[in-house]
Amino acid sequence: MRGVQPHCRQTRARCRVSLAGALCCALLPLEGCKVGPNYETPQVLPAEQWSRRSDAPLSDDTPQLREWWRNFNDPVLDQLIGQAEQSNATLEQALANVRVALGTLGVSESQFWPQISVATMYERNKTNIALLAAQGVETSAYDVWGAGAVMASWEIDVWGRVARMVESAKAELESNVEDLRGALITIRAEVGTGYMAVRTLQQQLVILKAGIANVKTTLDVAQRCLAAGTNTALDVAQIEVELDSLEATLPDLEGDLDAAIFSVAELCGSAPAPIKALLDTPAPLPTMDERIGIGIPADLLRRRPDVRASERTAAAAVAMIGANEALNLPTFSISGNIYVAANQLSGLGNAGNISYGFGPTISWLVFSGGYVTSMITQSRAQAQVALASYRGTVLNAVRDVETTASMLVYSKQAAERTADAVKSAQFAYDLSKQQFTAGTIEIDRLLSAQNKLLQAQRLQADADGSVAQNIVSLYRALGGGWDEGAVNESALRSADMASTTASPK
């Protein structure tokens, strides 16, 4: 009988392994089953609710948004946007968030696989119990050597709990990527808007200084006339008051210009001095005469990163409903270990010292004090919040485009009218100057004409600046300026920065 026992033990071991393998094979086809609702992108905005715009400078053509800033043909603007892409702090933060989401996805995906650890060990044991020694039990010190591998409890994803968690993590990662694209669009637009503000303020300074020079010329004429006895000291005093008033506005305007330049420097991730040196020389406000296409709502929803990010967040929230619902169902898992242990190091090579354990486990959470129910309720409510937020984001995107488009149209109209006003004011000033020189009008009428010309010129500078800024804002609202290449370059640059930061000095 003793001769057949090893065979029986081997047969039983094979049966146990076969039974476990059969159970695994029976469970594996169920991995495709995922409890919980499947996400479908909600329809928010019918196409017929979109306002079709054809007012100049707009059209309903498909917008050309790639590197929109180059349409201004301004190398300085191109340089500033390029520097902001490299160094802006907000952009780096968005890149870091993408890395965090990527790590979270990796953690979720790792649950598809077993966790296996290997270890070696050595112990020196000594039992010092007098009673055992009196009974003849060996109590001298002994060694234990061991090595082996352990597979922690590996959950077979029968109900798709892990798959739903991976689905949620992947959607969150995609949402963070869209946030990165949104940051890229916003930074470019803010640099563009800030640059337009700088050039507008510089133009305002040029106009103001030219107006001051005109008043000084008038003052010289008035002083000569006073010396000749053809006018009065009151005329000279009125001109001096006007001159002092204009010169008093210079410091505030120069302070506003410095503040605008410093804001651009911050967006570029730079100290103020280099950007101030780049922008200190006044230059004309860049213009763009071509019509801007707006397109259709479906295109807008595909382009706007905030809409895309919100939609992905909603998808992540819906996936978590299934992950939590699976907690109410049985859990199937497998665990095991294999190791060799001996009293001498040489014994680790003896196959007779090998031990192992392997087997499946089925567990079912039958009472949790309302924990699982509360988790399901919470996840459903969070999905409703995310879907409502998505709808709000879509409507906000449409409002944003409609608003900026209207502002561009009206600012363009205002710029055209102020240009006409400047022509009229210039004609009135030239005529008043001739009449004052001829002595047919009083000084106050000449000063009034000068003041109206100056006001009209400054209004025109503001109107032109508003047009340029509204063009930038419209490109931002349309979701323009991002592309896969720019995002990938930024991600690689951020990864290099992260590895450099993490490496020991």
HEC sequence for 32-88: HCCCCCCCCCCCCCCHHHCCCCCCCCEECCCCCCCCHHHHHCCHHHHHHHHHHHHHC
Phi then psi dihedrals of residue 421, to 5 deg? -65, -35
Q: At what angle do helices 371-438 and 443-477 cross, to 10 degrees?
A: 150
Domains defined along the chain, listed by start: 31-112+157-329+369-500 (1.20.1600.10), 115-155+331-363 (2.20.200.10)
CA distance 291 to 276: 32
Q: Which two tokens stand for residue 336?
A: 């095991």
Query: β-strand 292-293 against 116-125: which pairing, if any?
Result: unpaired
CA distance 73 to 458: 24
Q: What percent of the chain has pLDDT over 70?
A: 83
For 29-32, which contacts have Cβ atoms below 8 Å and span 24 or more sequence positions? 30/156, 30/158, 30/159, 31/156, 31/157, 31/158, 31/160, 31/163, 32/160
Instruction: Dump pLDDT digits (tens) for 475-499.
Output: 999 887 665 555 555 544 544 544 4
Q: Which two tokens stand for residue 14?
A: 């094979």
58: β partners = 292
Q: What angle is formed at CA 15 by the lines to CA 10 and CA 19, rounded to 5 degrees?
A: 150
3-state secondary structure of 135: coil
Tally of CB atoms within 10 A around 233:
10
Residue 460 confidence (pLDDT) above 70:
yes
Beta carbons of 234 and 275 less than 8 angstroms apart: no
pLDDT confidence of residue 462: 95
Beta carbons of 39 and 280 less than 8 angstroms apart: no
Comparing 488 with 450, the larger pLDDT belongs to 450
Helices H, strands E: what count in the chain? 13, 6
Instruction: Dump pLDDT digits (tens) for 274-330.
Output: 999 999 899 999 988 777 877 776 677 778 899 999 999 999 999 999 999 988 899
pTM here is 0.78
How large is the average pLDDT for residues 451-479?
93
CB-based burial, 197-206: b 16+ in 10 Å, e otherwise? bbbbbbbbbe
From 126-130, 371-375, 410-414, the region with the lowest mean pLDDT: 126-130
Q: DSSP secondary-structure letter at 128?
A: -
Residue 191 confidence (pLDDT) above 50:
yes
CB-based burial, 445-465: b 16+ in 10 Å, e otherwise? ebbbbbbbbbebbbbbbbbbb
If pLDDT is split at 50, 70 and 90, which confidence band does 348 have? confident
If pLDDT is split at 50, 70 and 90, which confidence band does 50 have? low
CA distance 99 to 103: 6
CA distances from 417 to 192, 421, 456, 495 (A): 25, 6, 10, 51
How large is the average pLDDT for residues 24-28?
42
Most confident listed range (89-98, 168-177, 347-356, 483-492): 168-177
CA distance 208 to 63: 38
Beta carbons of 265 and 271 less than 8 angstroms apart: yes
Q: What angle is formed at CA 186 by the lines to CA 297 and CA 68, rounded to 5 degrees?
A: 70
Q: Before 57, cis peptide (omega within 30)?
A: yes
Q: List the beta strands (DSSP E) in 104-194.
A: 116-125, 142-156
CA distance 299 to 479: 10
The residue behind tokens 């609710």 is 49
pLDDT confidence of residue 52: 58
Query: β-strand 116-125 against 142-156: which pairing, if any?
Result: antiparallel
CA distance 24 to 333: 9
If pLDDT is split at 50, 70 and 90, which confidence band does 104 have? confident
How large is the average pLDDT for residues 266-273?
91
Residue 29 confidence (pLDDT) above 70:
no
CA distance 130 to 153: 41
Q: Which two tokens stand for residue 374?
A: 């509360």
Beta carbons of 411 and 463 less than 8 angstroms apart: yes
pLDDT confidence of residue 136: 65
CB-based burial, 23-37: b 16+ in 10 Å, e otherwise? beeebeeeeeebbbe
CA distance 192 to 465: 11
